[in-house]
Amino acid sequence: MQNGAAPIPDPISKVSIFSITQATTATFTDLYFRLTFLCFIQTGSKRVLCPTNGELIGEPGDLIIFPPGSLVTMENRPILNDRYRADGVCFTHDLVDAVFIDQRPRSDPPGIQILRTDSQRPSEILGLIKDTVNNEGLPLPIKQHRLLEPLIWLRHNGVRLPTRDEEQPLSKLRRLIETDLSHPWRIPEVAEYFAMSEATLRRWLMKSGQGFSKILLNTRLENGLTLLQTTGTPISQIALESGFKTPSHFSDSFRKRFGIAPKLIRSAND
């Protein structure tokens, strides 16, 4: 979300675009962004609490940039008689590396960053991304080259992006879980996959501040949140696709973590 569990980019295009809608104000804690994520706000507003840059408020037309590896709390706020709406864009690491790899290393993480509609006009860059991705007549090398332009534009406007976060325990485990959310992942199997003992795996994961069970549950819940916000898939199907045995288990777990029923993401009248 995507938000924390944003859809994985097409391996051919390197970029994915999706529309986000939400009917009811809700706060989502500890959302994890494994890939670089751009959020172009259309209606409503977004409040983000960033450990590095504090509180940020995005308004319609603004662009909020989430670097890979971000762990944040955020609130989507619909307006009266309309939903919260945004366009989300995910970039794979190789595209980001191509533009940002030569940035001078800095010890402090860049955190969440925001570009305002009145000064930088990010809607123009969103149009460029959409035109490039949706142009089926473009040869693949040209398409991928053009998709570097939005990242060059971000850098020109002072945005900093770290290059790759895939070696961090949280990122590596979530990437594995995302390969099959419905698989009954267990510590012994995961430890074997990473060629380490169970004790070493647990110590390794604690570097992220989260244990195995919490990472597994959060990965599944955030996938469910993304599907609720970006698709019309029935909630019962979302529950199964996200790795929950029953819709009620998904709904109970979702409500416990986010403080809102899944159905209220889509309809404020329920």
Residues 159 and 234 in one domain: no
For residue 1, what pLDDT is reported? Answer: 44
| Structural domain includes residue 74 | yes
How is the chain split among helix, strand and coil, in percent rounded to 5? Answer: 40, 20, 40
For residue 167, what pLDDT is reported? Answer: 67
CATH number for 219: 1.10.10.60
CA distance 204 to 168: 9
CA distance 235 to 126: 30
- Show the domain range for 108: 15-165
Residues 88 and 145 in one domain: yes
Residues 70 and 199 in one domain: no
Question: Of 144, 165, 186, which closes a domain?
Answer: 165
39 closest CA partner among 91, 72, 88: 88
Residues 177 and 242 in one domain: yes
Q: Under DSSP, is residue 110 helix (H, G, I), strand (E, B) or coil?
A: coil
CA–CA–CA angle 218, 72, 81 (5° rounding): 90
| Structural domain includes residue 111 | yes
Question: Of 165, 195, 215, which closes a domain?
Answer: 165
Residues 54 and 147 in one domain: yes
| Domain count for the chain | 2
| Structural domain includes residue 24 | yes
Residues 174 and 160 in one domain: no
Residues 53 and 152 in one domain: yes
Residues 127 and 227 in one domain: no
Residues 146 and 57 in one domain: yes
CA distance 134 to 225: 25
Residues 21 and 108 in one domain: yes
CA distance 225 to 75: 13
Residues 141 and 181 in one domain: no
- In this structure, the number of other CB atoms found within 10 A of the CB of residue 20 comes to 24
**Are 49 and 74 in contact, with CB atoms under 8 Å apart?**
yes
**Are 25 and 253 in contact, with CB atoms under 8 Å apart?**
no
| Structural domain includes residue 4 | no
Residues 240 and 261 in one domain: yes
Per-residue pLDDT tens digits of the chain, which is 270 residues long: 444 455 545 434 689 999 999 999 999 999 999 899 999 999 999 999 998 899 999 999 999 999 988 989 999 999 988 999 999 999 998 899 999 988 765 667 789 999 999 988 899 999 999 999 889 898 988 988 999 999 999 999 999 998 665 567 888 899 999 999 999 999 999 999 999 999 999 998 888 788 999 999 999 999 999 999 999 999 999 999 999 999 999 999 999 999 999 999 998 775
pTM: 0.90
Question: Of 165, 181, 205, which closes a domain?
Answer: 165
